[in-house]
Amino acid sequence: ASNNAAFGDYTLDANTTGAANTAFGSQSLSANTTASNNTAVGKSALEANTTGDLNTAVGAYAMQNSVNNDRNVAIGYGTLANISNDQGDSHHVAVGFNAGTNVTTAIQQTLVGSNAGVSCTTGHRCTFVGYYAGSNNTTGADNTAVGRAAFGNNTTGGNNTSLGTNALNANTTASANTAVGYNALTANTTASNNTAVGKDALAANTTADNLTAVGKGALYSNTGGTDQTAVGLNALYNNT
């Protein structure tokens, strides 16, 4: 094997034909045998990798237990540490302390921020950006959350979009919601098919479905009324 660089105890010590690998840190890429084009920096980074190619893991324990997954980027302590085997081209990007640390069989996750998507196990194709964004999501798929604690309590709800601090923060199992703005749909738990655009839009809604609120405070107090549309500053503010 050629073009390998190893610095630290047991780095690349099992390598046979794997080429163009860089390992820096105790036990980084220590199980690697035939995999190529990997970069591991930090203690136990990509430690269990044997045949997975084209991975970049920077940080102690980053991608530690990955064996044969390809084309992933993990930057930060514990990022993608427990990714399952046989995911092939899983195409994850995780940046931040423990970002995606419990991802197992999910694919195509983009997780940026401390503990972003930390509980995500099998939910595919999620994008979580921000401190604790999507932190409790487990199997919910195709979700996008940007902002501090955005979508922080979702577990299984899918096809949601949350942009703004605390937007859709209480959502657990609801699907097909769009929340844009500080505290938009922040109390929503199981209601689906809602659109809230603006600070505090639909802020009190928990279980009512099929609502559209555009404007600061629009449908702010709504809890049970369904099939409502409110457009404008504080439109239908006290409607329940």
Residue 168's pLDDT is what?
95
Each residue's pLDDT tens digit, 153-187:
999 999 999 999 999 999 999 999 999 999 999 99
Per DSSP, what are the bridge partners of residue 94?
74, 111
Residue 88's pLDDT is what?
74
Cα dihedral across residues 131, 117, 187, 199: positive or negative: positive
Distance CA 217, CA 103 (A): 36
Residues of the chain with pLDDT under 50: none
Each residue's pLDDT tens digit, 64-99:
999 999 999 999 999 999 998 777 789 999 999 999
Residue 195 is given by DSSP the state E
Residue 1's pLDDT is what?
83
Distance CA 213, CA 21 (A): 52
From its phi and psi, is residue 140 left (phi > 0), alpha (psi between -120 and 50) or beta?
Answer: beta
Q: Are strands 39-41 and 229-231 parallel, antiparallel or unpaired?
A: unpaired
Question: Are 27 and 47 contacting, i.e. CB atoms less than 8 angstroms apart?
Answer: yes
- Full-model pTM: 0.93
Residue 85's pLDDT is what?
75
